[in-house]
Amino acid sequence: MRLSLRFVIPLLVALVAVAYVVAPLADRLTLRWFVRDLDIRTQLVATAIQEPLAAVLTDTVRDKVRQQRLQSFLDRITQDERLYAVGYCDDKGRYAYRTVTLPRGLECRPPGAAPEAGGRVMQYGGTSLHVATAPVVIDGARVGELVIAHDMSFVERRSADTKKYLVALFAALGLVVALITVLIAELSWRGWMAGIKALIKGQTFADAPEPRAKELVPIARDLRVLVQELESERRRRDEAQMRWVPETLRTILHEDLKGDEILIVSNREPYIHVRDAEAVRVQRPASGLVTALEPVMRACSGTWIAHGAGSADREVVDANDHVRVPPEAPSYQIRRVWLSEEEESGYYYGFSNEGLWPLCHIAHTRPVFRAADWELYRSVNKRFADVVVAESRTRNPIVLVQDYHFALLPKLIREQLPEATIITFWHIPWPNPEAFGVCPWRNELLEGMLGSTILGFHTQFHCNNFFDTVDRYLEARVDRETFTITHGGQPTEVHRYPISIEWPLRGVSGQPPVPDCRVQVREELGLPAQAKLGVGVDRLDYTKGILERFAAVERFLEMNPDWVGRLSFLQVAAPSRSRIEEYQSLDSRVREAALRINGRFGGGACPPITLRIEHHDAARVQKLYRAADFCFVSSLHDGMNLVAKEFVACREDERGVLILSQFAGAARELPESLVVNPYDTEQCADAIATALAMSSEEQRARMRSMRSQLLEFNVYRWAGRMLLDAARVRHRARIASGVEGVRA
């Protein structure tokens, strides 16, 4: 339709132009040219016949003879096909001779009339005639005048021919113009479309090329900015509808954050280099924080700043203390920070893990606060702040500060990089104001954290506790409607970001089928093939409720003696913070409990408790999850607990039961698990009984529901939501600075 219009319109225009403008104009012009030609021709004829005419006129023969001669002379002349008629007017202004064809009404001009400048056109008997006069002069005296009429029908014939050619010419021209128009329109339409398409694509991928059509370039930029903003806005609004995969994070980074620089700071590094007898080995620490952030960093690149704690860490870094990881396919770098023994002991073991860890977990372990530890905590936070500034290539990087080891860091970074976007995530619970209030440096800690742009906790409950704590101890404006705390003019948004795992969990697809895992793990543990297996996977930490778990297994066997020799509970516990007395004591208590329970119910090939206090690699842990009939997470208090989520992620067979503590953040997201109070031994023992008796249909229904929750709420969403919020804050700050600029 579009094409045919483009074709027809130029053609119609050409034809109308021929009919109403060109043809009449051509008519007028050709007529004028021919009249001029005929004027000249008349003069030529007049001149040519002047002499013979004079001879006839002056001949002394009789009048009659003269007349006859003149007549036949003029008749001869008019045999010329164009010469229509000739007349001779004498000196009295009367026709002395005239051919019969001379129009009747054509009178002689009065004698003495001035010579005519040119001829005139007249109609006669349906024929157009050109009539002109020429004086006849004999011996210098004017004796009369010739009237010469030319037939102009040839002009009409030629004019008609010319019109025909013109129409044909213009039709051909119109056709060519129409074709060229269609061609150009089509090409430029495609060009525009390609330009616009590139432009629209450019909203999603910032590196889209400039449109080739030059005229599109300026609007391209404006349009791109506009669509990008709309797109970002839509993303923020439609976060719930988005599919959360690594690519989504990359898109947010490139589009919403315009590829801004990302720095992560945590105490634990994602890869530790350790020296064996002869070689350097790479180890991945058992840490929920690392488990969550590593896939995010793979997706985002950037720099991860962490304490270099491995025995071979210094051997593999470059001159700037950088090492690229993951070793198999490097995609980001670690910047290692070296701490002395004293610093590590005061900042990490002392203030962080003997002070803040028990302070934030309500696990009835008394926090220990030493002034010396506090000083080292402060100075190490300052060291890390300086490293962040040194690593930052821009004045406004996005810094993701991780966990309770760095409560002071946000404020320290803010002092040196006021434009940085600092997102602090607190991976452990936040207690109520009374519990937190026992810390001698509570205000400094709170002020340090409020240097953040955004502060995240796993649950709303922890956010509310934080609001209450700030409200209680600081002079700050706490706005619970906008979730913002303003302290010293610096606003901090406080939000809930429940952490999760990557989905699908890396490595699971490479695992043997679940039945094979069941058989292999039972063989490896020396358990009977039919034995039921429960599993617990933790860092060896008193907050994880390992002793309470054992007590529940013991109680279950007490209540259900027929299960003795048919059920084994495998506890794998990664040694953790083993320099701290409380942890050493836990280690011995856990070992003793396992021995005692095994002594009480064991003896056979299937001990009630199988305890492995050692670090396992991720693949091994996944295999254990797959081999188990149930997984028991009995944390006394836990920010989230990723073990619960990992267990669910490893069970694509939709079998297995999760027993989960109500005091782990994960219980809010996985209510289809068997939710228990780990302090209630009876309830936990019952939960084991329920798990062992649960039909496969019920297992499937519960597992399916939990899996769909994790598919949707994975770690990319956790990180993505924080980054989107950061993008929103940055966007608003840019607008605000623009407005300031205008005001100034």
Rule CB under 6 A: which residues touch ligand ADQ?
A: 286-289, 291-292, 427-428, 499, 537-539, 572-574, 615-616, 621, 638-643, 646
Assigned token pair, 590: 């856990």
Of 261 and 638, which has the nearer Cβ to ligand ADQ? 638
CB of 482 to ligand ADQ, least distance (A): 25
Of 317 and 627, which has the nearer Cβ to ligand ADQ? 627
CB of 621 to ligand ADQ, least distance (A): 5
Of 83 and 428, which has the nearer Cβ to ligand ADQ? 428
User: Computed over its alpha carbons, how large is the radius of gyration of the chain?
Assistant: 52
**Vertex 552 angle, CA 663 and 291, to 5°:** 45
Of 108 and 428, which has the nearer Cβ to ligand ADQ? 428
Strands laid side by side in the 674-676 sheet:
609-612, 567-574, 532-539, 630-633, 657-661, 674-676
Of 35 and 586, which has the nearer Cβ to ligand ADQ? 586
Of 128 and 635, which has the nearer Cβ to ligand ADQ? 635
Residue pair 645/433 in contact (Cβ under 8 Å)? The answer is no
Beta strands in 99-203 (DSSP E): 120-124, 127-138, 141-151
CB of 642 to ligand ADQ, least distance (A): 4
Assigned token pair, 91: 């000196």
Residue pair 348/405 in contact (Cβ under 8 Å)? The answer is yes
Q: Of 492, 584, 579, nearest to 542 (Cα)?
A: 584
How far, in Å, CA of 570 to CA of 616, rounded?
13
CB of 443 to ligand ADQ, least distance (A): 25
CB of 572 to ligand ADQ, least distance (A): 4
Dihedral (CA of 657, 660, 665, 667) sign:
positive
Of 232 and 353, which has the nearer Cβ to ligand ADQ? 353
CB of 582 to ligand ADQ, least distance (A): 15
671 contact partners, CB below 8 Å, separation of at least 6: none
Looking at beta carbons, which residue is closest to ligand ADQ?
A: 288
Q: Of 85, 133, 136, nearest to 109 (Cα)?
A: 133
Of 261 and 294, which has the nearer Cβ to ligand ADQ? 294
* Burial 206-227, CB ≥16 within 10 A → b, else e: eebeebeeeebeeebeebbeeb
Of 35 and 454, which has the nearer Cβ to ligand ADQ? 454
459 contact partners, CB below 8 Å, separation of at least 6: 429, 496, 498, 665, 668
Of 202 and 310, which has the nearer Cβ to ligand ADQ? 310
Q: Percent helix, strand, coil in the chain (nearest 5)?
A: 55, 15, 30
Of 289 and 337, which has the nearer Cβ to ligand ADQ? 289
CB of 536 to ligand ADQ, least distance (A): 9
CB of 264 to ligand ADQ, least distance (A): 13
Checking DSSP bridges between strand 490-496 and strand 484-487, what pairing results, if any? antiparallel
Assigned token pair, 270: 């994602």
3-class SS of residue 100: coil
Of 427 and 702, which has the nearer Cβ to ligand ADQ? 427
454 contact partners, CB below 8 Å, separation of at least 6: 421, 422, 423, 424, 492, 493, 494, 495, 722, 725, 726, 729
CB of 403 to ligand ADQ, least distance (A): 8
Of 103 and 678, which has the nearer Cβ to ligand ADQ? 678
Of 148 and 546, which has the nearer Cβ to ligand ADQ? 546
How far, in Å, CA of 446 to CA of 443, rounded?
5
CB of 467 to ligand ADQ, least distance (A): 20
CB of 544 to ligand ADQ, least distance (A): 7
CB of 317 to ligand ADQ, least distance (A): 25
CB of 287 to ligand ADQ, least distance (A): 5
Ramachandran region of residue 31, left (φ > 0), alpha (ψ -120 to 50) or beta? Answer: alpha
Assigned token pair, 578: 């083993």
DSSP secondary structure, 295-318, as one string: HHHHHH--EEEEE--STTHHHH--
Host H or E run for residue 643: helix 642-649
- Residue with tokens 């210094």, as numbered in its chain: 314
Cis omega (within 30 of 0) on the bond before 678? no
CB of 225 to ligand ADQ, least distance (A): 36
Of 412 and 640, which has the nearer Cβ to ligand ADQ? 640
Backbone φ and ψ for 490, nearest 5 degrees, come out as -100, 115
CB of 447 to ligand ADQ, least distance (A): 24
Checking DSSP bridges between strand 454-457 and strand 421-425, what pairing results, if any? parallel
